[in-house]
Every structure is written in C-alpha cells, then in structure tokens.
Structure 1
Amino acid sequence: MRAAVFHGRHDVRIQEWPDPPAPGPGEIQLSVVRAGICGTDVEEFASGPHLIPLTRPHFASGHQGPLVLGHEMVGEVVATGDGVGSFAPGDLVVPGSGVSCGDCRWCVRGRTNVCERYYTLGLHVDGGLAERVNVPARISRPAGGLDPDVAIMAQPLAVALRAVRGITAEPGSTVVVIGLGSIGGLAVAACAARGVRTIGVDVSAARLETGRRSGAGLLVDASREDAVAAIRAATGGHGADVVLEASGAPSALATAMKSVCRGGLIRLVGLHRDPSPLELTRLVLEEITLDTSKVHICDQDLPEALAMLAAHPEIATTALDEVIGLDDLVPEGLERAARGDARGKILVRL
C-alpha cells in the first residue's frame, strides 16, 4: 500500500509500505478515506523527532524506526478481528488517537488519556496516512451518517472539547485562546457553540481569519499589537477569566500569565519544549490556577464531538482549509503548515 512514512526531520516519504496484517482480537482494519494533518505532525516533521521512536522501542507500543504518520482519520471497515461485534465491513468509523491499557489505576478511574502504557496512533505505531490501518475497536465510534470531511474533525474537536471542559458561560466572563491552529480554532468554535465570549490571539492573518469564522468576539494580531494590553482593555482592565494556551510558542506563556485575571485559570494545551519561566509568586498571591489538558478521553469527548458536528456541521466547514492528495502531503501540507500559511485544517484524501 502507499503511505506517508516518517524517516526523520524534513524526511517524510510517500512510498510503498507493507499492508497491515489481518486485524487481531479487538481490532478493526480501515480503508482510510480521509486523514488530517495535526500540529504535532508538523512539529515532528519540522523539528523532530520528539515523540516518534526512531532509535529505540517505544515503551508501550514496542515500535522502533520509521512509521506511518496520522492520528486523525476516518475510514471504512474492511475486516474485523475476533471479539468485535460493534462494527461490520462497510461501516464508516472515526477512531480516537490514543490507545490505553484499560487496567492501570488511571484507566480504572476513567482517565485513559494519562494511562501509564498510553501510546498514540501515527506517533508511536503506524497511523492513518496510509491506504489501510488497524485500530482498536474500543477507541472507535461510528461516523453516524456524517460526510467524511465533517467526521474527520471529530478527533481534533474532541481534543478541543476536553480543553474547554468545565468552562461555563457566566455573565461577563471571557476566555482567551492563544494560538488559533486546528485545536485552538476548534476550541473557539466549541466556546461559541456554548455562548462563551472568546478572544482569539495569533500572529497569522490566515489563522486569525479562522478564529473570526469560528466565532471569536475579538481578534488580536500579536504580530502587530500588544496582546496583553488588548486583552486587558477588552476586559475592563481585569484580565481574562480563562486563558487557553494552544500554541506552544515560547512567548505565549508569558502572554497568558499577564492576561489572566486574579483568581483566573490558565490551561496549557500546546506542547512547550523550551523552558518557560512562571511567575510563581503571582500564581500564589492572586490564587491563579494553572492546569493542563491532554488529548481526549475517548468515551467522553469523541461521542460529544460527533454529536456537536451532527448539530453544527458548519464547525467542520469553518475549520477546513483544503483537501489535498497524498502525493501533495509534504509541499502542500506539512511544509505549508510549518510556514504558518494554513488557515485551518488540511485534510488528505486517500
């Protein structure tokens, strides 16, 4: 089969790759219809490997060496393994991205996204930027009649829904989203669908436009103006009640710290690889909460994402930038996204 295979930094090849084996117990094999390009894929391509186990086996998946990218996908079931009664050939399916063990103390408590043996499709084992892929049935959900270009947004929307979980539309409250890439833009859309006022911050005109179409009440171009001053001015000088940091940019945490109000919440969604100093004294004296959000909990967030897309398919339309072919993945997908030229989600047609 043809697949997009990661061999190293700036080295993703569209090549022939072994077909996946017959699905094992609890697995389904998908003929992939659509795959999405995530910011994590772009980061691995541009500056990695960070997460992909090229030189040593991954502790949970056991994979080592080049692998097929892609943890966002929609596919048609072509085969099922033993014990799979929930899917049949021909079903259109959306898998989650992470595989958990189901037995550790965190899985037992329902926190499958912090499982001690957690691994991710397309990062720690072959993923969905290929003609076929095997995935666990238990992390997969039926597309429910959604068009593939809508259903493909379910996994990133599930990540965004987890990021905004617990945020309510209290009178006068404001949520700031820093970084309007695929997750940040969908977080704005999720807030807008719930009536939460949002301010979107980015340095890219294309992504700011996505934030506008996603429902942000105010947009701040941090490349042209002082983001902190703009946020403070828009909130009567108090600062934002919640700041979601979805960019991972080195300066973004400082912006979040200076933009949040007393007693507010900073939630980190983007991955910060550079050391980031925190104003710990202010966190204590103003009782500011700092927490994080990782990926999604499949049983909770993926069904909610599919239901939201069924009710509001325009979320997917707004988030979509372009659908490209697999041969165009590197120049029109990964490289374009790495330059910051994408205004939304780039999908791959397989």
Structure 2
Amino acid sequence: MKAAVYYGHHDVRIEERPMPTRGQGEALIRVLRSGICGTDATEWRSGPHLFPVDGTPHPLTGHVGPLILGHEFIGEVVEVGPQSPFAVGDRVAAGAGVWCGECPRCLEGRTNLCWSYTTFGLNVDGGMAEYVAAPEKMLAPIPAGMSLDAAGLSQPLAVGFHAARRSTAQPGDRVVLISAGAIGTFVLAALLSFGDIEVTVVDFAGPKLDRALRLGATRIIPAGDDVVADVLAAVHPRGADVVIEASGAPGQLANAIRMVRAGGSILQLGLPAHAPEVDLPAIVLREVTLRTTNAHVFSEDLGPALQLLASGGLADELLDSVHPLADIADQLERLATGRLEGKVLFDPTMG
C-alpha cells in the first residue's frame, strides 16, 4: 500500500508499505481522508521532537524508525473480527489515541491522560496511508449522508470540544478567544454550540477573523498594540469571565492575564515555542484559575463533533482543500509557514 512516511527534518516520503494486519479487537480500515495539524508541521519544520525515528524505541509502543504519519483519519471498514460492533462497509471516524481503560485517569473518565496513552501517527504508524488497522473502541460511526470532507474534520473539532469544556465557559459568560486559526475556530464552533455565550475573537485583521464573525462570534477585535484596552472596552472594564489562549504566540498569555476578570478563568491551549513569563501576582492576588487542555476524550467529544459537522456549513468554512498523498510535503510546508487559512485533507485513493 502507499503511505506517507516521516524520516526526519523536511523528509517525508511516499513509499510502498506492507498492508497492516488486524489484531484482536481491531478493524481494518480503507482510509478515505487523513489530515495534518500543527504537530505534524512542527516535526516537518524542525523535528524530530516527538516522532520516535532517532533510534530510540518509543517507551509504550516500541516503535522506532520511519513513521507513517496521520492521527486524523476516517475511512471504510473492510475487515472485522467476531462480535464487532461494526460491519464491512461501515464508514467510521477515528479518535487519535488509544487508552487502557484501567488506570486511575481512565477510571476518572480522563482517557486522554491515560498512563499508557498512545497516538496513531505520533507514537506508532498512523493513517496517512491507504489502509490502517485501529482498535474498534476508538472508532465512531459517521452519520448517514455526511460528506467525507466534513467527517475528515471531526477529530480536530473533538479537540476543540474538549478545550471548550475544559474552559468551563457557561451560557451567559463573556469569553475572549485569542486566535482565529483552525484550532481557534474549532473551539469557537464548540463554544457556540453550548448555548448563549458571548465570544469575542482576537487575531490579526484578515480572512480568519472575518470567518469567525461569519460563524457567529459576537465581535471580532484586530490584534495590535492596544488590543488589551480594546478588549476591555468592548467586553467589560473588569475583564472577561473566561479567556482562551489558542495561539501560543509570544506575549499572548500575558495579554490573557490582563483581559480576565478577578475570579475568572484562563485556558491555555496554544503551545508556545519558548517558555513564557507569567505574572504570578496578577493571577494569585485575583484568584484567577489557569487551566490547560490536551487532545480529547473520545466518549465525550468525537460524537458531538461529528453531529455538529453533519448539521451545518462548518466544514465549508474550514476546509482548504483535498489532495493526494503525493502532495504532502508541499502542504506541510504551507502549514509550517503559516500559509494555510483552513484545514487540508488527503485522500489516499487519489492519484
């Protein structure tokens, strides 16, 4: 089968790889869409950082050497075992990671923090290929009539749902969302699905900010030297109830601290390239809660993501294009250099 295989810095190759073998409790899937995200772009631009290709086996999966990319994938079931909840021909969306179900974090329902959590396309071969074998417990049925392009965005939207839940934003809250990029837009969509939440989106003026307004943001504020003052003037002079920092850009956590009210909450989603300075007195003396978020919880986030994508035009706003696997290096470069406004998907059946 054809697969997009990561070897190292600026080195992803389309190769012939053996067909995967379905294990117990797994389904063999013909991949129909697979996506890339910021993690893939970082590994392309400056890695390897996370991918186990440097000769050291991954501590949980044992994988070492070149890695098939792809942790955002959907497809068609082509083979299952006995007592499977799926049948050959079913269309399914995959959560990115596998959890044990038995450790303390799993028993709390926080399967994304499982002690043995492993992620397809990061710790073990993934779904940027014609076929992948995946545990049935990390698969969800795609709603009838839903387009493949829309379903292909479900895993990153699930990450947005998890972030929105972690923010603790409730109907009636004033929320400031820093970043109108792809992940910020997924968070915005999830927040708006929760009910009457006022969301102010901050980013540089341009198409991404305009998209946030079309999707239902209460207001948009262009980033600039006076952005904190502009936000406080528009939202409330004492600050927002919740601020979500989804950019990871320098200085934005500091801005979030200045934008949130006393007793409010900050959710840090964006990953900065360098450790930011944190004004601890401004947090401690005002009892501001600082939360973080990582990945998603399959049982709580993937289903709502699929339903939201099936019900409206969110995919039309967020999908940039669909490509054959042969285009992956060009598209990783676009993503790594900030030249993508939306999400790119790959169809291994093309070309």
Instruction: Give the whole-Å Cα distance in 2 for the aligned partners of 1:83 and 1:102.
Output: 21
Query: What's the counterpart of residue 297 of structure 2?
Result: 297
Query: What's the counterpart of residue 58 of structure 1?
Result: 58
- Say which SS state the counterpart of residue 315 (structure 2) adopts: helix
The 3 A distance-change label for structure 1 pair 27 and 84 is farther
Q: What pairs up with 1:60-139 in 2 under 5 angstroms?
A: 60-80=60-80, 82-139=81-138
In structure 1, stretches of 5+ residues that fail to align are none
- Say which SS state the counterpart of residue 126 (structure 2) adopts: coil
- Say which SS state the counterpart of residue 267 (structure 1) adopts: strand
Query: What's the counterpart of residue 284 of structure 1?
Result: 284
- Say which SS state the counterpart of residue 117 (structure 1) adopts: coil
Instruction: Give the whole-Å Cα distance in 1 for the aligned partners of 2:77 and 2:276.
Output: 44
TM-fit CA distance, 1:215: 2.1
Query: What's the counterpart of residue 140 of structure 1?
Result: 139
1:337 to 335, 338, 343: 335
- Say which SS state the counterpart of residue 70 (structure 2) adopts: coil
Query: What's the counterpart of residue 345 of structure 2?
Result: 347
The amino acid that maps onto 2:211 is T
The amino acid that maps onto 1:161 is F
Q: Deviations over 1:256-279 (max 9, x none)?
A: 122212111111122234111211
Query: What's the counterpart of residue 171 of structure 2?
Result: 169
In structure 2, stretches of 5+ residues that fail to align are none
Instruction: Give the whole-Å Cα distance in 2 for the aligned partners of 1:334 and 1:215.
Output: 29
Instruction: Give the whole-Å Cα distance in 2 for the aligned partners of 1:102 and 1:235.
Output: 42
TM-fit CA distance, 1:61: 1.5
TM-fit CA distance, 1:149: 0.9
TM-fit CA distance, 1:214: 2.6
TM-fit CA distance, 1:179: 2.2
TM-score with structure 2 length normalisation? Answer: 0.93
Query: What's the counterpart of residue 184 of structure 2?
Result: 184
Instruction: Give the whole-Å Cα distance in 2 for the aligned partners of 1:83 and 1:233.
Output: 61
- Say which SS state the counterpart of residue 41 (structure 1) adopts: helix
The 3 A distance-change label for structure 1 pair 60 and 337 is same
Aligned residues: 343
Q: Deviations over 1:54-91 (max 9, x none)?
A: 121111121111111111111001112x4551111111
Instruction: Give the whole-Å Cα distance in 2 for the aligned partners of 1:39 and 1:98.
Output: 17
The amino acid that maps onto 1:48 is G
Instruction: Give the whole-Å Cα distance in 1 for the aligned partners of 2:214 and 2:3.
Output: 33
Instruction: Give the whole-Å Cα distance in 1 for the aligned partners of 2:46 and 2:205.
Output: 20
Query: What's the counterpart of residue 267 of structure 1?
Result: 267
The amino acid that maps onto 2:39 is T
Instruction: Give the whole-Å Cα distance in 2 for the aligned partners of 1:40 and 1:83.
Output: 36
The 3 A distance-change label for structure 1 pair 208 and 123 is same
More displaced stretch, 63-72 vs 175-184:
175-184
Q: Deviations over 1:135-176 (max 9, x none)?
A: 110011000212111111211111111111132121xx3212
Q: Is the 8 A contact 1:101 1:117 kept in 2?
A: yes
Query: What's the counterpart of residue 212 of structure 2?
Result: 211
- Say which SS state the counterpart of residue 171 (structure 2) adopts: coil
Instruction: Give the whole-Å Cα distance in 1 for the aligned partners of 2:121 and 2:254.
Output: 32
Q: Deviations over 1:213-262 (max 9, x none)?
A: 3322222332x453222211211322221111112223221221222121
